[in-house]
Homo-oligomer: A and B are copies of this chain.
């Protein structure tokens, strides 16, 4: 019990005024126990008498002890680092929420979050991810859309035996952590709203084909038409790529039609903004002559004029859940529900109006 620290831990009384950080030895000495017991208490391991636990905790507090992460990792093989691999797209408000949600869970849980932006498409994506995972020694990875949609990414992570949580509508193995929201239902509701407003010719701008959400949103649109006995017209559907310009271009083609739609549903807000822009360029009043709706409720949607009718996803919550489930898994606790669905909410603003 006495010869702790015989190796001269705190010998170095350098000029630096900052007192040397307390180590596990200091705490052990202070509490009158062995370092192993301190380790047990700090790591919330069982089989420590309550009285001992309290004593140690007191010392921890008194010395402001904080475990050294590097030593922990070296010794215990756990880095407590989670990677966040995302597409480095222009639209960022989605990612902002993802960052905040994930960070908010990681920090209190003692995990660090490491960012890894990727520019898609990327032929070397596998190498890059492999390198990231190795270099950054991440224990697990969060995969916000559309990263989780990419077939290779999930497979690679699985092969590397790195647990991951994917935020994506893609169907996944039942034991994989998957967070998504009911894009299809939300799209259905939004389309239904337009139908109830009297619109019959409703244009639809599809999202990027590589994003799982695109198909779901399109499916919701079609189901709504069907439910309301409106014939599906392929000419009213255009391919977009989730960006402003493609939304604008698709809108242009829709408006050039002999019988243009009286409403356009864009698969995301960026494209909806492009639609509004195009309408304005053509002198069309929104929503007077053309109703426009988007998807995502980016910060954006209340900044433009008119404020956008759109669909809000609980991104922050979704990211929180993804991080939480992933951490559970890393900590060896079986996730309660590896596959979690969230509800979207239609937000009605001024860019849509009854057909008159």
Q: Which partner residue on chain B sits nearest A73 by CB separation?
A: B70
A19: Cβ under 8 A from any B Cβ = no
Q: In the complex, A66 Cα to B134 Cα: how many Å?
A: 8
Q: Which of A232-251 contact B (CB under 8 A)?
A: 244
Q: Which partner residue on chain B sits nearest A91 by CB separation?
A: B299
- Inter-chain contact A137/B305, CB cutoff 8 Å: no
A280: Cβ under 8 A from any B Cβ = yes
A161: Cβ under 8 A from any B Cβ = yes
Chain B residues in 8 Å Cβ range of A16: 161
Chain B residues in 8 Å Cβ range of A117: 99-100, 103
A330: Cβ under 8 A from any B Cβ = no
From the candidates B66, B114, B134, name the one contacting A114 in the complex (CB within 8 A): B114
- Inter-chain contact A18/B161, CB cutoff 8 Å: yes
Chain B residues in 8 Å Cβ range of A276: 305
- Inter-chain contact B304/A305, CB cutoff 8 Å: yes
Q: In the complex, A303 Cα to B79 Cα: how many Å?
A: 42
A331: Cβ under 8 A from any B Cβ = no
Chain B residues in 8 Å Cβ range of A136: 112
From the candidates B71, B244, B304, name the one contacting A74 in the complex (CB within 8 A): B71
Most buried by B among A18, A69, A71, A302: A69
Q: Which of A109-151 contact B (CB under 8 A)?
A: 112-115, 117, 134-137
Chain B residues in 8 Å Cβ range of A88: 100
Most buried by B among A112, A114, A303: A303
Q: List 5 A-B contacts (CB under 8 A).
A: A18-B160, A70-B71, A70-B73, A88-B100, A300-B300
